[in-house]
Amino acid sequence: MKEFSLTVLNLTDKKLKMKKVLSLLFILAINTSANAQEQNWFSDIHFCESKDTTVTIAFPNSIVSDSIFTWMYNSNEISYNSDNSITINEPGLYTLELVNTGGVTLTSSFSLIEDAEFYEYFMYLNGEQSSETDTLCLEDGVIISTSQTNETHYWYVDGEIIGEGNLSNNNLTIDSIIDQINFNEEYQYSVSIENTCGIVDAQNEITLLVNECECELNMPNVFSPNGDEFNNTFKPFNDHENKTEEEFEEMCKSTDYKMEIYSQWGRHMASVNSGDKLPSWDGLNKRGNEVAEGVYFYRIVYKMNKHNSPKEKEITGFVHLYRD
């Protein structure tokens, strides 16, 4: 068995007859005991359309002098080239088919990609172009992207670059930067994209307001409507850090709150229709009289205005009422 490891020996960039020449020299990995197989010798190569560029790829004669090379361009054999190197300047798909001394056929492919100097890039919000301010729910996954998967991206929020450097990925997931923005607040997102011709700003910007829509209501299990300063009403609450009750209600954007109170024997005691505000029960029955201490059951129905398409939700449970 004869094996060699793949190594990049040389990468130069020089002027030759006013052309930019890129030379790639490889040591080829050959395994004489292997069956026909795909190899991973090459990476895609980018060059700028406005620059006259020639790429030369070569394998040392000392390593592969007794192997048979067949080069193909867009699946068609290049009849004039049958040795261990190729010089190219046309964009497209290139494939090398090599038969080694053991009769094993090895293949590997790469693309030569031509980048435009004057190009238009667009940003997409969840796969669609967006020009107006959008309000979306974080739980649904909010992704800003471009269609340029191979270029380096520099993402900005309100003109400030995200992170210490850049995020080269063509997708910006809002969930990944949620610690840098606030809920229910507008931000403007933009991106600059770099290819071999330079850096260009995307043609559009996206203004986005993100809410945490599926905010669960937390329910107390005890209250004491005795006229002191504490726990005089039974009301849902939230434990979102640094958010007031009003901010929470705006952030969650729920409406049409209706709360029904029942005794432990199933008798209906009170109804609270609070509209867009969180419902609150003061311990009085529907006639305005104080109810006795004990356990009471509640049912709260409301609409969660998710993406402006209301979805009804229901919460049930029990609460202990004390008066002392």
Nearest alpha-carbon partner for 218 in 252, 184, 266: 252
CA distances from 222 to 216, 230, 234, 295, 301 (A): 19, 11, 8, 9, 20
Instruction: Supply 72's token pair.
Output: 């193909």
For residue range 254-311, list pLDDT tens digits in order: 889 999 999 999 999 999 999 988 899 999 999 999 999 999 999 999 987 754 567 7
CATH number of the domain encompassing residue 58 = 2.60.40.10
**pLDDT at residue number 33:** 39
- CB contact at 8 A, 15 and 85: no
Residues 58, 134, single domain; the answer is no
Instruction: Supply 304's token pair.
Output: 């969660």
Q: Is 2 inside any structural domain?
A: no
- CB contact at 8 A, 296 and 262: yes
Q: Among 185, 211, 237, where does a domain finish?
A: 211
Neighbours of 108 (CB within 10 A): 19
Strand 105-115 vs strand 37-38: parallel, antiparallel, or unpaired? parallel
CATH number of the domain encompassing residue 316 = 2.60.40
CA 312, distance to chain mean position in Å, is 29
Which stretches of the chain drop beneath a pLDDT of 70? Answer: 1-36, 61-65, 81-82, 131, 163-168, 214, 239-245, 247-251, 306-309
Q: Is 16 inside any structural domain?
A: yes
- Report pTM: 0.55
DSSP 126-179: TTEE--S-EEEEGGG--EEE-S-SSSEEEEEETTEESSSS---SSEEEGGGGGG
CA distances from 301 to 257, 260, 314, 320 (A): 6, 9, 5, 20
Residues 111, 131, single domain; the answer is no
Residues 65, 136, single domain; the answer is no
Residues 191, 251, single domain; the answer is no
Q: Is 200 inside any structural domain?
A: yes
**pLDDT at residue number 293:** 94
SS3 of residue 125 by DSSP:
strand
CA atoms within 13 A on the CB side of 7: 8
- CB contact at 8 A, 186 and 158: no
For residue range 170-203, list pLDDT tens digits in order: 889 888 888 788 877 899 999 998 888 888 899 8
Domain, as residue range, for 228: 222-321
**pLDDT at residue number 296:** 97
Q: Among 96, 115, 134, where does a domain finish?
A: 115
Q: Is 216 inside any structural domain?
A: no
Instruction: Supply 174's token pair.
Output: 């809002």
